[in-house]
Amino acid sequence: MALASAESVAVKHKKIQHSEFMRIVRQVFRGWLTYVAAGFLLLVLVGALFAPWIAPYQLNQPDLTAMLSPPSAQHLMGTDEVGIDLFTEVLYGGRISLMIGFASATVAVVIGGTIGALAGYFGGWVYFVLMRLTDVGLSVPILFVILALTALLGPSPETIIGVISLTSWMYPARITCSQFLTFKQRDFVLSARTVGGRDMRIIVRHIFPNALAPLIVNATLLVGQAIVLESVMSFLGAGIQPPNISWGYLLNQAQSYLTSAPWLSVFPGLMIFLVVLAINVLGDAIRDALDVQAIREGGM
Amino acid sequence: MGVFIFKRILQSIPVLFGISLLLFFMMHAVPGGPLAMYIHDPGMTKQLLHQLETNLGLNQPLWVQYVNWLWGALHGNFGDSYTYGIPATQMVFDRLPATLLLMLSAFLIAVVFSFIIGVFSALRQYSFWDHVLTVLSYFGVAMPTFWLGLMVVILFAVQLHWLPVGGMSTPGEPFSLWSRIRHLILPVGILAAYLLAHESRYVRSSMLEVLHADYIRTARAKGLQERRVIWRHAVKNALLPVVTIMVMDGAYLFGGALVTETIFSWPGMGRLFIQAISQNDYPVMMFEISLLSVIIVFANILADVLYAVLDPRISYNT
């Protein structure tokens, strides 16, 4: 009797996963690599968020007794030319780099998603105009335009976010547009319209959730792209300026010390590389889990 | 075929138009307009400023200025460099060969080797080497070009002294092909690395798709030599989607060249652009962007045409 009741208790507590979302999440985390990538990103995010509490030294605390010293027990990543701890700089720089990366990707996806949705849903001349606009955006040499605009408008973090978004919205737009073109024909849209649903409602509540999948993949990869773009800008001197620092800016400063202090170049760049790598791995895992044909056709 | 090309070119005219509008208004987005840098000049008086404005036609309504600029641009006149006084076009064309040398070498190497690596990887799917190459391509795609450049310079030029640190030639060293190649190795290697990583993955996946197709099975069943099956049938069909990617990547090369030229002090268009920015030399900046945009638009057309040419299934009358 006791055994039977124990069994029935066990059966009663067995949960059956119904949520589509959870199914996808589990599929994303199927391989060990995704755990590593996600774990690393989480680590970096936490480090960046809690930089003021984690950093061993103050940010602008020159230590003239330890200028240009290599990595050691006191200074995990070494020091720069005035003795400021590189690990601290990397932590604080990560805040700006990551913030700009996420913000730019978000704005780009919002802009591109809206444009693509409108173009795909309404078709006709709306489609024509918006797609030409997208073509224009894709035809300009991105880095050049970014540098020119930043030089014209001044290198504040807001400008940088805006400029990067302005040159990255094209792929989300294309993806969203093709998704909308596909789903527009489906029966559930027809039925929504028959019942009297207005355009806006159809777009937002019905089509958009279905169009989300490839957009998410693209958004993930965009974050990595944005981080690299910001780093390139700062590296060339046209990006983040002091007192703000970013990984790219650190690399810019490191150029003068290639021979004397190579660690100044190694660590900030290593951070960029590893973060982008982790993002790519994660993005690929998400894409494999979602397995939508439209992702490939969308241009990524 | 000709009609197709003509229609594609026609389609790109509104795009070019849009680009020119964008560029023109970028120039005037600066608070203070194109003469912003002169305002802070201590020797500048209100009178002189006004004179300059009249001379340069900056006091006319905006759309008039745009039409004038566009008219001049279509005739090849992009104004004179603010810093040097010589025509912007001349300044850029002087540097063009150096950049082209860099870009074309990188492109060639990337295309050839990504091909070899991609096919090799596909033929040995899931083998040890395939895994190694896949990991390397992941690395290559994530690697920031300029960081790789710095690392490579530190390793090869500074520590090992095998290769020169930068420039197109070393001062005092007599010109020779070998010297030029030595100076090219690092920058071209850096540029090609990203392309290689990116394209070899596409070649690999495209090859894999093709290798599982029915017509390949038929060819093998017919008894064709494996080598023939692979090279004459599989590869040709695998080429298709990759070609478009490769042409698009060519456009990336411009931006990549910018960074590479800075690191290696290569005297090309990219470095000129950076200089122009710091000197507020708008004519040069605008001409470079215009030139590159036109090249990119035509590269897109080329990609479409190539695609239509290579795939007999696509009708030319689309």
pLDDT at B224: 79
Query: Percentage of residues in chain B with pLDDT exceeding 70?
Result: 91
Q: How confident is the model at residue A7 (pLDDT cuts 50, 70, 90)?
A: low
Percent of chain A with pLDDT over 90: 21
List helix spans (H) across chain A.
Answer: 2-12, 20-28, 32-49, 51-54, 86-122, 124-139, 142-153, 157-166, 170-184, 187-194, 199-201, 208-235, 247-254, 263-290, 293-297
| Confidence grade of residue A299 (pLDDT, cut at 50, 70, 90) | very low
Contacts of A241 (CB under 8 A, 6+ apart): A155, A249
Could you tell me the pLDDT band of residue B241, with boundaries at 50, 70 and 90? confident
How do residues A245-261 score in pLDDT, each as one tens digit?
Answer: 889 998 888 888 888 88
What is the mean pLDDT of the segment spanning B17-41? 71
Amino acid, single-letter form, for residue B51: Q
Burial of A53 (0-12, 13-18, 19+ CB in 10 A): exposed
Greater confidence (A131 vs B46) lies with A131
The per-residue pLDDT for A107 is 95
Q: Which residue has the higher pLDDT, A171 or A299?
A: A171
Q: At residue B1, does pLDDT exceed 80?
A: no
Chain A residues with a Cβ under 8 Å from any Cβ in chain B: 132-133, 135-136, 138-145, 147-149, 151-153, 224, 228, 231-232, 235-238, 251, 254-255, 258-259, 262, 265-266, 269-270, 272-273, 276-277, 279-281
Lowest mean pLDDT among A168-177, A205-214, B309-318: B309-318
Check whether A288 has a pLDDT greater than 60: yes
Cα four-point dihedral sign B92, A226, B20, B52: negative
pLDDT of residue B231: 78
End-to-end CA, chain B: 10
Does residue B174 have a cis bond before it (omega within 30 degrees)?
no
CATH of B89-310, one of 1.10.3720.10, 3.40.50.300, 3.40.50.970, 1.20.140.70: 1.10.3720.10
Determine the Cα–Cα distance for residues B226 and B208; give it in Å rounded to an integer. 15
What's the rounded mean pLDDT across residues B53-68?
74
Encode pLDDT of A81-114 as tens digits. 788 888 888 888 999 999 999 999 999 999 999 8
pLDDT category, A72, cuts 50, 70, 90?
Answer: confident
Q: Which of A136, A144, A232 sits opposite B19 (nearest CB)?
A: A136
Model confidence at B219: pLDDT above 60: yes
Distance from the Cα of A258 to chain B's closest Cα (Å) equals 6
Q: Tell me if B144 and A273 make a contact (CB, 8 A cut-off).
A: yes
Name the least confident of A182-191, A286-295, B202-211, B247-256: A286-295
Q: Which residues contact A221 (CB under 8 A, 6 or more apart)?
A: A279, A280, A283, A300
Higher pLDDT, A8 or A161: A161
In whole angstroms, give the CA distance from residue B3 to residue B316: 8
Contacts of residue B26 in chain A, CB cutoff 8 Å?
Answer: 145, 148-149, 152
Q: How confident is the model at residue B91 (pLDDT cuts 50, 70, 90)?
A: confident
Average pLDDT of span A149-175: 89
Compare CB distances from A143 to B26, B153, B258 and report the shortest one's residue: B258
pLDDT band at A53 (very low <50, low <70, confident <90, very high): confident
**Backbone angle region of A84, left / alpha / beta, with phi > 0 → left and psi within -120 to 50 → alpha:** beta
Task: For tokens 């990984």, name the residue.
Answer: A247
Instruction: Please report the pLDDT score of residue B315 as a whole number.
Output: 60
Q: Tell me, what's the pLDDT at A227?
A: 93
Query: Do residues A194 and A275 touch, judged by C-beta distance below 8 A?
Result: no
Write down all domains in chain A, each with its CATH number in brackets: 20-299 (1.10.3720.10)
Q: Which of A42-56, B36-50, B125-139, B154-168 has the lowest mean pLDDT?
A: B36-50
Please report the pLDDT score of residue A155 as a whole number: 84
B66-80: per-residue pLDDT in tens? 887 788 878 777 777
The reported pLDDT for the residue numbered A110 is 93
Query: Per CB distance under 8 Å, which residues of B are interface residues toward A?
Result: 12, 14-15, 18-19, 22, 26, 29-30, 138-139, 141-147, 150-151, 153-154, 158, 251, 254-255, 258-259, 262, 273-274, 277-278, 280, 285, 288-289, 292-293, 296-297, 300
% of chain A surpassing 70 pLDDT: 91
Q: What is the DSSP letter of B22?
A: H
Residue identified by tokens 């600066």 is: B30
Q: Which of A149, A228, A277 sits opposite B26 (nearest CB)?
A: A149
What per-residue confidence (pLDDT) applies to A14?
53
Alpha-carbon gap, residue A192 to A150, rounded angstroms:
45
When pLDDT is averaged across residues B217-222 and rounded to a whole number, the result is: 82
Indicate the average pLDDT of chain A.
82
Mean pLDDT of B22-30: 75
Give contacts of A241 with chain B, Cβ < 8 Å. none
**What pTM was estimated for this model as a whole?**
0.84
Q: Which helix (H) or strand (E) holds B188?
A: helix B177-211
Cβ contacts below 8 Å, chain A against chain B, sum to 122
Q: Tally Cβ neighbours within 10 Å of residue B60.
A: 14
Identify all chain A residues contacting B269, using CB atoms and an 8 Å cutoff. Answer: none
Q: Write out pLDDT tens, residues A201-227.
A: 777 777 887 788 888 889 999 999 999
Distance CA A240, CA B280 (A): 19
Among the residue ranges A201-205, A294-298, B44-48, B289-293, the one predicted with the least confidence is A294-298
Give residue A15's pLDDT: 58
Average pLDDT, chain B: 81
Across the interface, of A152, A258, A270, the residue whose CB is closest to B153 is A258
Summarize the confidence of residues A1-5 as an average pLDDT: 50
d(CA B74, CA B79): 12
CA A164, A168, A174: angle at the middle one, nearest 5?
Answer: 165
Residue type at position B37: M
pLDDT beyond 60 at A13: no
Q: How many Å apart are CA B91 and CA B80, to the nearest integer?
A: 9
The full set of domain ranges for chain B reads 2-74, 89-310
Q: Is the pLDDT of residue B51 over 80?
A: no
Residue B31 pLDDT greater than 80, yes or no:
no
**Band (A19; pLDDT cuts 50, 70, 90):** confident
Distance CA A166, CA A145 (A): 10
Q: Tell which wins on pLDDT, A298 or B267.
A: B267
Q: For residue A293, is pLDDT > 60?
A: no
Q: ∠ at Cα B316 (B312, B318), nearest 5°?
A: 120
Whether the complex's predicted ipTM is more than 0.90 is answered with no
